[in-house]
Structure 1
């Protein structure tokens, strides 16, 4: 969705077509590798996600065919909030309530996620780490995607989940889920009563947020980087691009190439540290 939203806005800024080519598979590694191995002329670029660009290299450093820094950074596009939720009838009214239950009954609760290399899994893991609890403080239950992750909470098959807002906005508005916190620095405009992680006393969870980033192959030509960075500046002021973000829960947050590389590097450092301390590294 982020790629198609960008392509529509970028075409008018560039004055030529921008074609979205889906390269699905391996949690995004196939598409990322395709761009990494492309000519560095600015014609093949990648809309990468936190899962493919940060989580995979942190979780599977030996088998992932690239590292986070093996790309030319062009710009951050938008942020995608992660919200931790429970069933409306849950006894957990706050994140503190959930923390107390995890501490007093380690291993008794469970949460849903859509795979080990996803924010839905690593968000609870970072929460456990902040409480000085082990990775098995709650049982992880895998599902196929974000919608199923949310439905598992609704059906009470699991006790909680930390999921992308885009998969749950309608369910939250309809009262089918109750949000405990959002990981965004500020409260969400559409859900102003939901406290931020920092307000709840768990500032570490601000690292858990989805995003889309525009990158190119390594050693991409500086003129091409400059051109695309200028395009992103124009796109960031495009009302249709801004509205497109809102349709899938994105918060526009365009950064410069230098700011973007620093942002992604910091994100990788957080998850690499979590993986190391929690022993989550996979083959």
Structure 2
């Protein structure tokens, strides 16, 4: 008798969970961006929000929660209710670079989040203000070596991918620049374009409009091969620094404990949204590459990237400022 009651309760729980997932979403869904508006994470999120909401049948509202190179937002998201009504953008900064360098982070990117899909991968670029004395890679490095400590660089935050990649570049190239962290790529770009900081290491989608209008000068890119948008700009592999040649990713996360049916529903909606040629074009026009992988594949990608940056931090003896 007891066994029959247990089985009945289990069946009811399964049915209620399935019914909940079928009803989801019954109200708007928030999509958290852990950076200020204007950066690549924000751009990709806003491109995806409308088509994702269309496929889910409810509005998807982008919410910016900046600070700590993405840590403030990611920490808050790790405590979100696992009901599918709060999703978040996953970045290398929040799931790999920052956790690798910051021992005080209270979340574990491998256990506190559920990976849904990597939407897109993007190249990164070192760019300078037009007033900088050099306009190409050789001259850039020569200028830094001639004037150690004279120049500073902007990033989207301490522990963010731009910070760790620049520190790795500094170590391998034998140069020195002072790090100026911001609350996101948007503010960092604004100050670099204004000439308040001469150098930035940023994701291509947010930097490219300024490069195209001559407000920033590209020096070197982190990409598998030279980019059609910047055919004359070398990759880090071209200049002999292949370890720095890593791309960023922008994906979707759910809090741990989110029912699998909801995760699958969001994944399916994202795949349909990314199958739309208009949506793909908007993302690809930023210089990004569509990935659209499975939850399992994205989980492995996050795990691998975290391992890489842990090795970088250990090898280069990097610490928070």
What is the TM-score when the length of structure 1 is the normalising length?
Answer: 0.81
Following TM superposition, by how much is the alpha carbon of 1:153 offset from its aligned partner in structure 2, in angstroms?
5.1
Distance 1:168 1:174 in 2: 10
Following TM superposition, by how much is the alpha carbon of 1:77 offset from its aligned partner in structure 2, in angstroms?
0.8
Aligned residues: 277
Correspondence list, 1:109-120, <5 A: 109-120=151-162
Match of 1:8 among 37, 50, 61: 50
1:243 paired to 2:281: yes
| Residue aligned with 2:223, SS | coil
Aligned match of 1:58: 100
**Which stretches in structure 2 are left out of the alignment for 5+ residues?**
1-41
Distance 1:5 1:152 in 2: 25
- For each residue in 1:107-152, what CA deviation from the matched residue of structure 2 results, as whole angstroms up to 9, or x when unmatched? 3443233432333322220102323x48xx2222445654554465
Distance 1:144 1:227 in 2: 32
RMSD over equivalenced CA pairs, Å:
3.1
| Residue aligned with 2:245, SS | helix
- 8 Å contact 2:50–2:60 — kept in the other structure? no
Distance 1:120 1:99 in 2: 18
1:195 paired to 2:225: no
| Residue aligned with 1:180, SS | strand
Distance 1:65 1:20 in 2: 26
| Residue aligned with 1:22, SS | strand
Following TM superposition, by how much is the alpha carbon of 1:182 offset from its aligned partner in structure 2, in angstroms?
1.6
Match of 2:215 among 176, 182, 194: 176
Following TM superposition, by how much is the alpha carbon of 1:60 offset from its aligned partner in structure 2, in angstroms?
1.8
Following TM superposition, by how much is the alpha carbon of 1:237 offset from its aligned partner in structure 2, in angstroms?
1.2
Distance 2:213 2:137 in 1: 21
Distance 2:160 2:293 in 1: 23
Aligned match of 1:19: 60
Of the structure 1 ranges 142-151 and 257-266, higher mean CA displacement relative to structure 2 is found in 142-151
Of the structure 1 ranges 2-11 and 254-263, higher mean CA displacement relative to structure 2 is found in 2-11
User: Relative to 1, partners in 2 of residues 1:160 and 1:5: Cα closer, same or farther, differing over 3 Å?
Assistant: closer
Distance 1:47 1:104 in 2: 40
- 8 Å contact 1:50–1:210 — kept in the other structure? yes
User: Relative to 1, partners in 2 of residues 1:161 and 1:227: Cα closer, same or farther, differing over 3 Å?
Assistant: same
Following TM superposition, by how much is the alpha carbon of 1:31 offset from its aligned partner in structure 2, in angstroms?
3.6
- 8 Å contact 1:38–1:217 — kept in the other structure? yes
Following TM superposition, by how much is the alpha carbon of 1:267 offset from its aligned partner in structure 2, in angstroms?
1.9
- 8 Å contact 1:3–1:20 — kept in the other structure? no
Aligned match of 1:84: 126
- 8 Å contact 1:46–1:216 — kept in the other structure? yes
- For each residue in 1:168-214, what CA deviation from the matched residue of structure 2 results, as whole angstroms up to 9, or x when unmatched? 3233222333212221223333222222222232221222x332111
**Which stretches in structure 1 are left out of the alignment for 5+ residues?**
none
User: Relative to 1, partners in 2 of residues 1:217 and 1:206: Cα closer, same or farther, differing over 3 Å?
Assistant: same
Distance 1:142 1:33 in 2: 19
Distance 2:97 2:314 in 1: 12
State the structure with bigger RCO (CA 8 A, min sep 6), 1 or 2. Answer: 1
